[in-house]
Amino acid sequence: MKIKSSFAVAAMIALGFNSFSQSKYATTKWGPELKGSKRGTLTETIGYDESGYYVRGTEKGDIYLEKLDKNLNRVATWEFEEKDPDTKEKYSFEGITYFNDKLLLFKTSVDKKTDKATLYVNNVNKKTMAATGKTTKLMEMDYEKKGGGIKFGVSMEAAMAMAAEANTKFIIVESREKQKLLIISNPTPTDKEANDRFGLVVLDTVLNKTWTKNAELPYNNKLFRTQKWVVDDAGNAYVLGKLYKDKVKEVKRGQQNFKYHIVAFTSKGENKVDYEISIPEKFVNDINFKVNDAGDIVCAGFYSKMGRTSVDGCFYTVLDGVSKNVKVTNVKEFDIDFLTEGMSERQEKKARAKEEKGKDLELYQYDMDNMILRDDGGCVLVGEQYFVKVTTHYSQNGTTTTYTYYYNDIIVINVTPEGKIDWATKVPKYQRTTNDNGAFSSYAMEVTKDKIAFVFNDHKDNLNPTKQGDIKNFSLRDKNGIITIATVDNAGKTTRESLFSAAETDVFIRPKVCEQFSESQMLLFGERGKTEQFAIVSFK
């Protein structure tokens, strides 16, 4: 299961770090403890090169950029200022990315006289982390005063979440091998009956414009909800969204009320092709897609017989990038052994009895997080159970609302080069936290030549449960906390062990901001209170 890498292999570094721990599958080398802030935290790992690592964070609402050297010492910090100290022009920070060996900072300004919003880019000095040099204009759009201004995101998930609350937005995405940047502007439609319109700009590796287009979707803006943009290395743009039948409602009269569509803009935006993604008699409740090296659109997702919150199986389909025909379509209904994996004996007995009576048994609330394309033409799909419960308590003293975040089992699915869904396996995990947005939950993922490793906060008893289905919740206050590494090989076999215990460090890891930066190494970040610490995990 050799995975196609989208980065160069970093040199292995023998470092004299402050602490060292070792497991069978990986070694962890910690950098020094750093002083942080209770009102601030790391929000993004941006990139790395031979001189160090680049990260972004927030503190008391302010945005800062930092550089760490190879020993994980903090060597440069720069705080973004909304007002340019030289020109006095006011800007909003929109994001930063590492592209073609450069750090690029994006920002917007608004001209209230003309109601125009403009997106700019600056290079960031790698030594000082300050935005320097010429400010280059990239794109302009009409500005709608309502809704809080411009929204932009290098992360598509974050961009779409922000865009849902905004009347105007810029979104920027990178191609898989970082050969192209796609910029999307989406002004608020003035005509509620009009089709969705976007301004598209595609840039090459030196930020020259490859093509620009005022693109229009073939759907009314009230009924189409954009979910994801992709640009391939040839510069073609793709948008995934939900098209509702008559009103924005997931289910109507017990039936799915929408279809997923992918619209491709090819030949420098001159050609527009619409693909409908559906599985007959199945409720497709989550989908992800990528474009492979041949230009084919590779789609995968979960489906259900029962509705939008449950999962009964998965599907995989490939659309030919030239003929536009469907090359491969396969579905896999999860069998009873897979569905009951990780359940207690009592739960499994109840589930099997339900199946014997002919009743549907499905999983609950899974998202298709990752799609990993392999060199051999196959792929690996990764999903995670995620949901939020909101509880409101009323008393004489007022109203208290509690948000409980659940990040549970991971699903790994292998697809052969021929498009056959070969096997599916679970990595049992139980993470329940309250009022923290799941900051210490979920997982970090490392893709190696023939394995996938998942790193996450865990309870030590989950390594060797005393009985079937006995998976305990991890807690930031629990002395039994460990950081688990769960490795899935190319046959679907999972090996689980402790990477290190929480007692070995003064911090808990934040999996969502940990980042793979080479074929065999990952940058970890941990914090507790005002203490922050980075580590390098090297996988064997």
- What are φ and ψ of residue 189, in 5° steps? -60, 130
**Residue 207, domain member (yes or no):** yes
Q: Are 266 and 230 in contact (CB under 8 A)?
A: no
**Residue 240, domain member (yes or no):** yes
Q: Measured between alpha carbons, how far is residue 182 from residues 230, 237, 314 in Å?
A: 8, 7, 30
pLDDT band, residue 428 (cuts 50/70/90): very high
**Residue 508, domain member (yes or no):** no
> What DSSP state is assigned to residue 469?
T
Q: What is the mean pLDDT of residues 324-351?
A: 86
Residue 159 has pLDDT above 50, yes or no: no
Range of the domain at 119: 80-249
pLDDT in tens, 69-83: 999 999 999 999 888
- The string of DSSP letters for 156-183 reads HHHHHHHHTT-SS-EEEEE-TTS--EEE
Q: Are 239 and 228 in contact (CB under 8 A)?
A: yes
**Residue 497, domain member (yes or no):** no
pTM: 0.87
Token digits of residue 362: 């499905």
**Residue 506, domain member (yes or no):** no
Residues in the chain: 540
Token digits of residue 270: 């001159």
Token digits of residue 358: 């002919």
pLDDT band, residue 279 (cuts 50/70/90): confident
For the chain, give the mean pLDDT: 85
Q: What is the mean pLDDT of residues 430-437?
A: 92
pLDDT band, residue 190 (cuts 50/70/90): low
Residue scoring higher pLDDT (522 or 343) = 522
302 closest CA partner among 257, 364, 248: 364
What is the C-alpha separation between 26 and 539, in angstroms, rounded?
Answer: 4
Neighbour order of strands in the sheet with 297-304: 283-291, 297-304, 313-319, 326-333
- What are φ and ψ of residue 337, in 5° steps? -65, -40
**Residue 347, domain member (yes or no):** no
Q: What is the mean pLDDT of residues 483-506?
A: 91
**Residue 126, domain member (yes or no):** yes
What integer pLDDT is reported at residue 191 of this predicted model? 66
pLDDT in tens, 366-415: 999 999 998 888 899 999 999 999 999 998 888 999 999 999 999 999 99
**Residue 96, domain member (yes or no):** yes
Domain count, the chain: 1
What is the C-alpha separation between 36 and 45, in angstroms, rounded?
Answer: 16
What is the C-alpha separation between 382 and 410, in angstroms, rounded?
Answer: 7
pLDDT band, residue 119 (cuts 50/70/90): very high
